[in-house]
């Protein structure tokens, strides 16, 4: 094979016109990239609702039958692969783009890396596939391959991966696809996304998967079409028994309504389809020793106790830390340093201590003391009578609060500065270049290019991203300021009500309480923020450094027919983007939220909502 492959490379180098999209040479890997491009999905990549018990699954079945008005439902049941979701776009039968899930709307372009995966067809097989076809799947690393990889890493003195999922995610995000090619990733296809308006000749999800198999995709052979809730339960039991024998990690079973017309009738919520659920396996637990408790300070000054544990593997992940939430929780658990405790990890949830297994000997057992001073800046901690958390009051000088505040300021929902991640922020703070948000807009190219892991192009990209962020919206700016209790929805409500920043800055608590969903506590915190001279000065500096937005016309009740209504937007629309629709609804007085709740009045579902 190696000799033939070298001959192929020589031939293609001499005759580039002979290179075909499905040539083995196209899987080897391209030269390293400098970064991943952000790409918008043709359709949102939805998440699944989780069912953690038989009661949860029964409730799903009852809701489904009730909405469809039927006595029984045919389902497609499949193992839930614990890997990395991927979107593959084929144009005229050839792989044109591959992207990670990202936030569901926008992911990262990993086309070069995905081309190295043998189970991903570079050119579709068979016939009758549409000119545009989007296929969703799960990229994973087989357990056997994972074990071999870690043996090699340890033999070379390198740090092994914690679990196959982390290894798959890390391999998929390598800037050098030649390294990805050595990782032997695999993919199972599990659904079809966009088809360019051309309907597929299938009436069920199960049939669709067989069609994908005909086109060259790898489909999990354990997938079954099952009858109603009894069939789903039997499938779950079968997969639970088979789980230890599989060469890939699974964390549950996915149950989907099989009939595609019924899926469309059921529709979707903002982030999840009504026609599917994930029956998760029980949370995995382990017993270890609570060795110490340390304290972390968050963006708002909240001090959280964190348990330091004797390392233990739970669900294939090495755990050495667990949250203790607050000191009331410590008292409820009755744990102390030196005790043996039961820890639990469910999915991606932060590990937590669930109970005391056995107390340590009195001679070595130490009570967990409530700190009096901030572990970061040594300020005296305080506690509001209405809260269970301790807080550091030094929001402008505490390094931890400044660091977390900067991370929030640059996040996607705020100023959205691409390339300014946690490690870069840490570097900027350690070098004394940044101490508060306004300092970001004073950074120069020379300062950035001198940082570790920055070259000329990446430094210029960061400077450009910072400069682009100056053009924003009032809602994003207010949210970026990190005012306690002011999330994205509240910031949008303030923008709609006041229209510009100055009225917000001078509004009394009573005036602020006239804004929908702003109560006395939130109004008090907004007022306190703008009354603080140093915080107000940060706002002034940001404006002086060129942060600008287009003021909006304040909502007039007479011109606000949707005032008091809560809307949720899902799917896509031909006439305008979801952001445009959101602005239109807000201009008419509506509150637009991200998910359906009991407060939702209207769900606006676009053409791709189900």
Closest CA to 582 of 601, 569, 596: 569
534, two tokens: 């140093």
Q: DSSP string covering 148-215, please?
A: HHHHHHHHTTPPPPSSHHHHHHHHHT-S-HHHHHTT--EEEEEEE---TT---S-SBHHHHHHHHHHT
CATH number, domain 284-392: 2.40.50.140
Highest mean pLDDT among 92-106, 130-144, 349-363, 592-606: 130-144
**Alpha-carbon span 110 to 133, nearest angstrom:** 17
Read off the pLDDT band of 413 (50, 70, 90): confident
CATH number, domain 399-469: 1.10.150.20
**In the chain, what is the straight-line distance between the N-terminal and C-terminal CA atoms, in Å?**
46
Whole-number mean pLDDT of the chain? 88
Residue 336: its H or E element: none
pLDDT of residue 421: 86
pLDDT of residue 14: 67
C-alpha of 605 from chain center: 23
406, two tokens: 């900067």
Read off the pLDDT band of 28 (50, 70, 90): very low
pLDDT at 26 over 70: no
What beta strand segments (E) does 463-590 contain? 471-472, 548-549, 566-570
DSSP 25: G
Read off the pLDDT band of 580 (50, 70, 90): confident
Category of 47 on φ-ψ map: left (φ > 0), alpha (ψ -120 to 50) or beta? beta
User: Where do the domains of the chain lie?
Assistant: 31-280, 284-392, 399-469, 474-549, 557-605
pLDDT at 440 over 70: yes
- 3 state DSSP class of 283: coil
Please, are residues 236 and 280 in contact by the beta-carbon 8 Å criterion?
no
**Percentage of the chain lying above the pLDDT 90 cut:** 62
For domain 31-280, the CATH superfamily is: DNA ligase/mRNA capping enzyme (3.30.470.30)
pLDDT at 609 over 80: no
Segment 52-59 shows an average pLDDT of 92
pLDDT at 4 over 70: no
pLDDT of residue 452: 87
Beta bridge mates, 304: 296
Segment 222-245 shows an average pLDDT of 95
167, two tokens: 């290894």
pTM assigned to the model? 0.60
Segment 481-497 shows an average pLDDT of 90
Domains 399-469 and 474-549 agree in fold: yes
**Percentage of the chain lying above the pLDDT 70 cut:** 90
Strands 471-472 and 302-314 turn out to be unpaired
Segment 165-178 shows an average pLDDT of 89
Segment 473-479 shows an average pLDDT of 95
Q: Which residue has the tokens 């009858």?
A: 227
Segment 6-20 shows an average pLDDT of 66
545, two tokens: 């450094």
In this predicted model, what pLDDT tens digit does every residue of 281-314 receive, in sequence order? Answer: 988 889 999 999 999 999 989 999 999 999 998 8
Q: How many CB atoms lie within 10 A of CB 138?
A: 21
**Alpha-carbon span 42 to 161, nearest angstrom:** 33
Beta bridge mates, 342: 287, 355
pLDDT at 37 over 90: no
pLDDT of residue 610: 45
Fold of 474-549: DNA polymerase; domain 1 (1.10.150)
In this predicted model, what pLDDT tens digit does every residue of 70-80 receive, in sequence order? Answer: 999 999 999 99
pLDDT of residue 516: 79
- Domain 557-605 architecture: 3-Layer(aba) Sandwich (3.40)
In this predicted model, what pLDDT tens digit does every residue of 373-404 receive, in sequence order? Answer: 999 999 999 988 878 889 998 888 899 999 99
In this predicted model, what pLDDT tens digit does every residue of 189-203 receive, in sequence order? Answer: 999 999 988 889 999
Tell me which residues are annotated as active site: 80
User: Considering only 21-25, 267-271, 347-351, which range has the smallest mean pLDDT?
Assistant: 21-25
pLDDT of residue 569: 82
Read off the pLDDT band of 19 (50, 70, 90): low
């Amino acid at each position: 094979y190696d000799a033939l492959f070298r001959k192929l490379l020589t031939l293609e180098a001499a005759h580039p016109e002979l290179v075909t999209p499905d040539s083995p040479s196209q899987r080897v890997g391209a030269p390293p990239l400098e970064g991943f491009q952000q790409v918008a999905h043709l359709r949102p990549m939805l998440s699944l609702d989780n069912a953690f018990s038989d009661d949860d699954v029964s409730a799903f079945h009852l809701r489904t039958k009730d909405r469809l008005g039927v006595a029984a439902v045919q389902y497609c049941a499949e193992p839930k692969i614990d890997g990395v979701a991927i979107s593959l776009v084929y144009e005229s039968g050839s792989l044109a783009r591959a992207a990670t899930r990202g936030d569901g709307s926008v992911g990262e372009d990993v086309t070069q890396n995905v081309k190295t995966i043998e189970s991903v067809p570079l050119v579709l097989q068979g016939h009758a596939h549409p000119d545009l076809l989007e296929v969703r799947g799960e990229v994973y690393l087989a357990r056997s391959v994972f074990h071999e990889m870690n043996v090699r890493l340890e033999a070379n003195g390198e740090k092994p991966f914690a679990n196959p999922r982390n290894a798959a995610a890390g391999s998929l995000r390598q800037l050098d696809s030649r390294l990805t090619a050595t990782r032997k990733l695999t993919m199972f296809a599990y659904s079809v996304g966009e088809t360019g308006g051309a309907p597929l000749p299938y009436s069920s999800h199960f049939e669709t998967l067989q069609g994908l198999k005909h086109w060259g995709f790898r489909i999990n052979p354990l997938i079954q079409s099952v009858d109603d809730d009894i069939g789903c339960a039997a499938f779950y039991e079968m997969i639970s028994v088979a789980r230890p024998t599989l060469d890939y990690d699974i964390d549950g079973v996915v149950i989907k309504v099989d009939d595609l017309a019924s899926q469309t009738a059921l529709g979707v919520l903002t982030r999840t389809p009504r026609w599917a659920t994930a029956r998760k396996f029980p949370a995995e637990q382990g017993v270890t020793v609570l060795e110490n408790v340390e304290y972390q300070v968050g963006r708002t000054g909240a001090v959280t106790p964190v348990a330091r544990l004797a390392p233990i593997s739970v669900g294939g992940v090495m755990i050495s830390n667990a949250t203790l939430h607050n000191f009331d929780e410590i008292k409820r658990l009755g744990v102390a340093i030196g005790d043996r405790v039961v820890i639990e990890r469910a999915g991606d949830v932060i590990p937590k201590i669930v109970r005391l297994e056995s107390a340590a000997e009195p001679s070595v057992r130490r009570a967990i003391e409530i700190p009096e001073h901030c572990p970061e800046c040594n300020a005296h901690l305080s506690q509001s009578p209405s809260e269970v958390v301790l807080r550091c009051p030094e929001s402008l000088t505490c390094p931890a609060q400044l660091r977390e505040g900067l991370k929030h300021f640059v996040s996607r929902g705020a100023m959205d500065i691409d390339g300014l991640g946690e490690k870069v922020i840490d570097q900027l703070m350690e070098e004394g270049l940044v101490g508060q948000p306004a300092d970001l807009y004073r950074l120069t190219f020379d300062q950035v290019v001198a940082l570790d892991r920055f070259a000329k192009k990446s430094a210029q990209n960061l400077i450009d991203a910072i400069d682009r962020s100056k053009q924003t919206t009032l809602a994003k700016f207010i949210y970026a300021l990190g005012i306690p209790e002011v999330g994205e929805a509240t910031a949008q409500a303030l923008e709609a009500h006041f229209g510009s920043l100055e009225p917000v800055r001078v509004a009394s608590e009573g005036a602020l309480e006239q804004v929908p969903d702003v109560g006395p506590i939130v109004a008090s915190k907004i007022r306190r923020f703008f009354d603080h001279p140093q915080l107000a000065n940060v706002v002034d500096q940001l404006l002086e450094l060129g942060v600008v937005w287009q003021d909006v016309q304040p909502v007039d009740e007479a011109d606000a027919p949707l005032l008091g209504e809560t809307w949720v937007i899902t799917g896509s629309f031909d006439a305008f983007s979801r952001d445009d629709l959101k602005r239109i609804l807000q201009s008419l007085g509506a509150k637009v939220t991200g998910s359906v709740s009991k407060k939702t009045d209207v769900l606006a579902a676009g053409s791709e909502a189900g």
